[in-house]
Amino acid sequence: MPETASHQLVNLSDMRVEIKKIIRGYQGEEGILIKIIQDIQSMFDHVPEKAVDILCNEMDLDPVRIYGILTFYGQFRLSPPGKHTMTVCQGTACHVMGSKKISEYVERKLSTSPGSTTSDGLFTLEKVACMGCCGIAPVVVVDHEIRGHQSIGEVDHLMKEIRERERD
C-alpha cells in the first residue's frame, strides 16, 4: 500500500492517479469495493468527498452505493481525524472493570464525543466495541498503541503528556 500522508495529496489529479492505482491492483477480483474504500481511507486518513467522486467515475458507480457503505460500517471516516486518536474500549470486560467512568472522564476533559475531534484538532475520540484484550481491561488505545489496566489518572497523565509534547 502506498504510504502517502493526506496533506501531500491535495492535488486532485494526484488523487485520481492514486485511486486508479488502487483499483487496478484489484482488477478481476469480485466484490472488492469495500477493500478499495479501506485502502483509500488508509491513504488519506479519511474518505474525502472528492475521492468518492473519483471512485464513482472510475468504477461507474452511483454515489449512493459508496455512501451506503461509508455510513453502514463504523470504520469509515468522512472527515480527517485529529493528530492523535484515542479509544476507550467499550467491551464487556472493560465495562465491568470500569471503562465507563474513564470514557466519561475523557469526553468531559476533551469536550468531545466518540466519533468527533477536539476543536484544536489534537484528539479524535473513536468508538470500539471491543479490542479483544479483555484480559487486561480496562483498555485504552492511543495512536494504535494498546494500553491495559488503565485508570482515570493514567489516561489524564497521558493526555497531558501529549499536549505538552505538542506544545514544544
Name the site residues for other proteins (rule: CB under 8 A). Answer: 29-35, 37-38, 68-69, 72-76, 90-98, 101, 104-105, 108, 128-137, 139, 144, 146-148, 152-153, 156
Q: Which residues lie below 8 Å from residue 78, measured CB to CB, with a gap of 6+?
A: 46, 47, 49, 70
Q: Give the integer Cα–Cα distance in Å for 119 and 41.
A: 22
Q: How far is the CB of 62 from other proteins (least distance, A)?
A: 13
Q: How far is the CB of 140 from other proteins (least distance, A)?
A: 10
Pick between residue 14 and residue 161 the one whose CB is nearest to other proteins.
161
- Per the listing, cell 486532485 goes with 12
b vs e for 93-121, b when ≥16 Cβ sit within 10 Å of the residue's Cβ? bbeebebeebbebbeeebebebebbbeee
Q: How far is the CB of 130 from other proteins (least distance, A)?
A: 4
Pick between residue 12 and residue 61 the one whose CB is nearest to other proteins.
61
Pick between residue 37 and residue 54 the one whose CB is nearest to other proteins.
37
